[in-house]
Structure 1
Amino acid sequence: MTPADDRDGPPGPPPEAADVFGDRLPEAVRYAELLADVAVRRGLIGPREVPRLWERHLLNCAVVAEVVPERVTVCDVGSGAGLPGIPLALVRPDLRITLLEPLLRRTNFLSEVVELLGLEEQVTVVRGRAEEVMNGFPPVHVVTARAVAPLDRLAGWGVPLLRPYGEMLAIKGDTAEQELRGARAALGKLGVVGSSVLHVGAGVVDPPSTVVRVEVGESPGGVRFAAKRAKAARRGGRAGRRAQ
């Protein structure tokens, strides 16, 4: 997966990138090159996005690290070309991240990127939809998402993947407050106990990135889903005993 020599690459990283990515800046530059070339040719990134890859994509996603707890597991739902999961992995080597994506051409790209950037011990690529894998998926501390779906629908996919007292961080735009107000009823049914709109990356990206934080209680996904998961676990246990 080598960038074509005759294809214009992305602009060089802005000064802020060195502060954000630290000693992993070379890997971030390599990722930007792959987005500008391979991801464009495969239809994962629009060619008009290339000139603003750093500000609009890499840095905009990387600053979410400000609000992710230390040493937790993360699932990036609908990861696409790896945003925000790959920048987050580069900034935070303490995290263990799963990139969850249903489309084969995207998971192929993600697997290639993970290998090329040397992230195999930190990042796992899983092909599937959240609603399809949630029963057998190990619950995580944090779910991330960017440009996947409206908040009420996104929460229905992401919240059931969380451990008790976990949180979902959704990168949103100017309509974040409006989306949150419109989704409160749906969030309540999913066992959400708190929600807020955060602004991260001040001084790095302008405007700062807007993140909707959704926090769950003891039963992520709601009581109904918790009972369904427990039932599935019991079935799995019985099947295991029969096989012994």
Structure 2
Amino acid sequence: MTEDSPVSVSGTPPAVLPTAAERKAAEAVFGERFALAERFVEHLATSGIERGLLGPREVPRLWGRHVLNCAVVAELIGNGKSVCDVGSGAGLPGIALAIARPDLSLVLVEPLERRVAWLNEVVEDLGLDNVSVQRARAEQAVRSVDVDVVTARAVSAMSKLAGLTMPLLKGEGQVLAIKGRSAAEEVADARKVIRRLGGSSVEIVTAGEAVLEEPTTVVRITVG
């Protein structure tokens, strides 16, 4: 068996089996909650695809490109912090973080009703008692959300995302935005906006270097 060969897991559809390398990483990231991560991937590969939260072509890449890519961001979050995941969609990174870190308290903010319904179903099925789901736009959630950390993935460019996420911190905390190769360019375009909104620093960091072949790129904004 090679590192790229799927590892058989009883009851798991072959299309969503992790490779040997992905399973090793997942076991390191999720620990004793690895089975919950497996079940989350199954939800993504079935009802998540059926309801249009992800495209069918993403199924073979659910572990590496999506779930692990998000879950490793947990290493950038302190113990017992409160987290708001903006534009949670398919629970990425919100649900992945909730599985990896049961000490965190998360609120998943999502404006679309069908996605909110799916998120609630998944949270209930997985028994995640550290997660709540709120149907709202980020601008609306400011009235009810006050957290230590705000996360986001595939929501918008940093110049706009800063305005959607930073106000949720109420003057103190961190924004962790999962980004790709455009991170440096987006940060350069957003620096003035970030400064105007009270950002004391903005930097590009990586997460998951110890377990992932391709670490996750994160834009970290510190407020206060």
TM-score computed with the length of structure 2 as normaliser? 0.90
**Cα distance in structure 1, aligned partners of 2:164 and 2:26:** 32
**Cα distance in structure 2, aligned partners of 1:142 and 1:37:** 30
> CA offsets per residue over residues 56-112 of structure 1, 9 Å max, x none?
011100000110111110000000000000110111111000000000110000000
Residues 65 and 91 of structure 1 are in contact (CA less than 8 Å); yes or no, is this contact kept in structure 2?
A: yes
Aligned to 2:132: 124
Correspondent of 1:112 among 116, 121, 125: 121
Question: 1:163: Cα distance to partner?
Answer: 3.5
Question: 1:210: Cα distance to partner?
Answer: 0.2
Aligned to 1:175: 182
TM-score computed with the length of structure 1 as normaliser? 0.83
Amino acid at match of 2:75: E
Aligned to 1:197: 204
Structure of larger gyration radius:
1
Aligned to 2:25: 16
Aligned to 2:99: 90
> CA offsets per residue over residues 164-221 of structure 1, 9 Å max, x none?
320100000011111101100111110111110001111322211000000112xxxx
Amino acid at match of 1:117: L
Aligned to 1:48: 57
Matches within 5 A, 1:158-237: 158-217=165-224
**Cα distance in structure 2, aligned partners of 1:84 and 1:133:** 18
Aligned to 1:229: none
Identity %: 50
**Cα distance in structure 2, aligned partners of 1:203 and 1:192:** 29
Q: In structure 1, list runs of 5 or more residues that go unmatched.
A: 218-244
Residues 9 and 37 of structure 1 are in contact (CA less than 8 Å); yes or no, is this contact kept in structure 2?
A: no
Stretches of 4+ aligned residues off by more than 3 angstroms: none
- CA RMSD of superposed structures (Å): 1.4
Aligned to 2:153: 146
Mean CA deviation greater in 169-178 or 202-211: 202-211
Aligned to 2:3: none
Question: 1:10: Cα distance to partner?
Answer: 1.0
**Cα distance in structure 2, aligned partners of 1:97 and 1:37:** 24
Secondary structure of the corresponding residue to residue 140 of structure 1: coil
**Cα distance in structure 2, aligned partners of 1:94 and 1:11:** 27
Secondary structure of the corresponding residue to residue 132 of structure 2: strand
**Cα distance in structure 2, aligned partners of 1:169 and 1:77:** 11
Task: Say how many residue pairs are matched.
Answer: 210
Residues 59 and 204 of structure 1 are in contact (CA less than 8 Å); yes or no, is this contact kept in structure 2?
A: no
Question: 1:132: Cα distance to partner?
Answer: 1.8
Aligned to 2:41: 32
Amino acid at match of 2:68: L
Amino acid at match of 1:100: V
Mean CA deviation greater in 136-145 or 102-111: 136-145
